[in-house]
Structure 1
Amino acid sequence: MTLATFFVQCLNSMQYGLLLFLVASGLTLVFGIMGIVNLAHGSFYMIGAYLAYSLTALTGNLFVALALGLVLSLIFGYLLEWVFFSFLYERDHLQQVLMTYGLILVIEELRSILIGDDVHGVAVPAFLAGSISIGNDMLYPVYRLFVSAACVVLALALYWLIRKTRVGMKIRAGASNREMAQSLGIDIGLLYRVVFSLGFGLAVMSGMLFAPVSTVYPGMGAQMLIVCFLVVVIGGIGSITGAFVAALLIGFVDTFGKVLWQEGAGIAIYLLMAVILLVRPAGLLGERAAR
């Protein structure tokens, strides 16, 4: 492996890891704070990809589509928690799994009715469609660098929200002890809607950002859901910092596994999870929540 190839794979690993963090951080918030096992989280990622396709076709501009998609995702996430997820808090995990699996089927059927079952592509904006030269014969797409930068900005915004704002303080209090937080006057119902809306929005934005890199196709959220649960388990349930570290680890292991160990690349991230859980059964930062 040449130095240029190694550098390109490092960029790919960072981009994939940052994308995983954005999707998995929403799942971490919902799972760690609200206590809901949400199997439909991967479908939220798929909704983002289809929103990118539909809104870009409608407006002719990916950035306008991203802005519209962000607003729509926050509104729809708020309404979805109110209409559906607010009834799951008192149910056991088996019922949560069954009901959120049913939501996957509903989302897939609505997608089929509204958009169809074809595979679609989303055009990269013209000024981001080029490539930069790395080494003598290696090119790296500019849009992938833009995705990595956008993920970093969103990750920093999430950190600022959780650590530096009153809303974040309430989120951390609710994660630490929801009964005590409620007794201090925090509206837990409203807090849960905000948390779920935030998690939904992060998953949707991830799907929208990554849609021009890959194709938009039915069921694309299933594989993402599996990897996101790996991120949550490896990082530690409820730990945003742990999710960040775990996502980057998975990004590097998966990317370099496909390059260096093609026969076993499919199990590399599962081996990583097994090794970490043997050493840290609660995950990397599982002893701390909502960091």
Structure 2
Amino acid sequence: MDYLLLQMLNGVQLGLLMFLLAAGLTLTFGIMDLVNLAHGSLYMMGAYIAWTLIGWTDSFVLGALLALPATFLLGIVVEAVVMRRLYVRDHLEQVLATFGLILFFNELVRVIWGPAGKSIAVPAFLNRTVEILPGVPYPAYRFAIIVVGAVVAVLLAWLVARTRIGMLIRAGASNRRMIGALGINIELLFSLVFGLGAVFAGLAGLMAAPLTSVKIGMGDDILILAFVIIVIGGIGSIKGAFVAAMVVGQIDIVGRAFLPDLLKTFLSASAASSAAPAISQVLIYVVMAGVLVWRPTGLFGQRT
């Protein structure tokens, strides 16, 4: 039972990281109608910028806090220089252009930071365990990710539901031409939304870095899961992105933890260990297919 609880917490932690990445993507896709394949590159850039600033300041917390506005500014620049020219283009041209951005950012990282991967150490004050329940220890850094992710999710829900900017975001997702006709500065709104999405991606990247590694292309694979999440949750729905991220996180982590023992009934130990991660990934796409059959707009997508 304790092992199941720990794995479910790991699923929550992964789900919240995925939510941060998917939230920015669903805002961009839902409001701007922009297919941005380079969103994973912002995840990567957030990790590299954090690595640099943590080294300069010799403080994980200060470096991470400084990395967020730096990633926001990077998002604003990318939106102004590249994305603004893609809004009127069809999705195929957006895919090709943003794929080019992936190549650009990968080469930029190679030029600035070199081809070798980097590592960010877990901060000393979080390099320990906390007791979730009596006698059930859990890594403090992973627990901190859960807390930060939950706080950001609550703040984002408040921003979207209770503020004027959130009202404009929701209106833009429903009918951006109408809010433009009402005198709202669409370009400024789009810049803020894209910058906000970049901040979420960068935050996810810098928090994930101590658990994995900082390397070129680190956001490419996770971007696919982010797209799966916004499809399951519904394009433009923050609530849907959160629920779908939790579901995907649990399927991935719990499947990887328990499927090997189940598969050992039919397969050898080595075959079961290698097959379990693949089956976990397949289950995620099965869930996506099932949701699309039942509700083509996603769990919380608007019916048209």
Classify the TM-score, shorter chain. Answer: over 0.9
2:102 aligns with: 104
The C-alpha deviation readout for 1:49-101, integer Å capped at 9, x for no partner, is: 11222111111111111111111111221121111100001111110000000
Cα distance between partner residues in 2 of 1:118 and 1:140: 31
* Equivalent of residue 294 in structure 2, options 269, 279, 286: 279
Residues 220-231 of structure 1: pairs in structure 2 closer than 5 A: 220-231=218-229
* Equivalent of residue 88 in structure 1, options 63, 86, 89: 86
Is contact 2:106–2:216 with CA below 8 Å preserved after alignment?
A: yes
2:38 aligns with: 40
Sort the Cα spacing of 1:137 and 1:86 in 2 relative to 1 into closer, same or farther, 3 A: same
Secondary structure of the corresponding residue to residue 286 of structure 1: coil
Quote how far apart the aligned CAs of 1:110 are: 0.4
Secondary structure of the corresponding residue to residue 140 of structure 1: strand
Cα distance between partner residues in 1 of 2:134 and 2:167: 50
* Equivalent of residue 266 in structure 1, options 270, 281, 301: 281
TM-score calculated relative to the size of structure 2: 0.91
Supply the AA of the counterpart residue of 2:64.
L
Residues 198-209 of structure 1: pairs in structure 2 closer than 5 A: 198-209=196-207
Is contact 1:52–1:211 with CA below 8 Å preserved after alignment?
A: no
Quote how far apart the aligned CAs of 1:266 are: 2.9
Cα distance between partner residues in 2 of 1:235 and 1:70: 26
Quote how far apart the aligned CAs of 1:184 are: 1.2
Secondary structure of the corresponding residue to residue 261 of structure 1: helix
Quote how far apart the aligned CAs of 1:156 are: 1.1
Is contact 2:76–2:194 with CA below 8 Å preserved after alignment?
A: yes
* Equivalent of residue 13 in structure 2, options 2, 12, 15: 15
Is contact 2:46–2:68 with CA below 8 Å preserved after alignment?
A: no
The C-alpha deviation readout for 1:201-245, integer Å capped at 9, x for no partner, is: 110111011111221122111111100000011011111111110
2:182 aligns with: 184
1:171 aligns with: 169
2:247 aligns with: 249
2:65 aligns with: 67
* Equivalent of residue 147 in structure 1, options 134, 139, 145: 145
Q: Tell me how large the CA RMSD over aligned residues is.
A: 1.6
Is contact 1:276–1:283 with CA below 8 Å preserved after alignment?
A: yes
Is contact 1:50–1:216 with CA below 8 Å preserved after alignment?
A: yes
Quote how far apart the aligned CAs of 1:137 are: 7.8
Which of 108-117 and 118-127 deviates more?
118-127
Cα distance between partner residues in 1 of 2:199 and 2:134: 40
Quote how far apart the aligned CAs of 1:119 are: 2.1
Listed as ranges, the gaps of 5+ residues in structure 2 are 261-274
The number of aligned residues is: 287
Residues 103-142 of structure 1: pairs in structure 2 closer than 5 A: 103-133=101-131, 139-142=137-140
The C-alpha deviation readout for 1:106-130, integer Å capped at 9, x for no partner, is: 0000000100111221111111111
1:157 aligns with: 155
2:55 aligns with: 57
Is contact 2:172–2:179 with CA below 8 Å preserved after alignment?
A: yes
Supply the AA of the counterpart residue of 2:259.
W
Secondary structure of the corresponding residue to residue 130 of structure 2: strand
Quote how far apart the aligned CAs of 1:134 are: 6.2
Secondary structure of the corresponding residue to residue 168 of structure 2: helix
Quote how far apart the aligned CAs of 1:144 are: 0.5
* Equivalent of residue 24 in structure 1, options 22, 25, 34: 22
Cα distance between partner residues in 2 of 1:36 and 1:277: 21
Cα distance between partner residues in 2 of 1:171 and 1:239: 11
Listed as ranges, the gaps of 5+ residues in structure 1 are none
Which of 254-263 and 105-114 deviates more?
254-263
Cα distance between partner residues in 2 of 1:55 and 1:268: 39
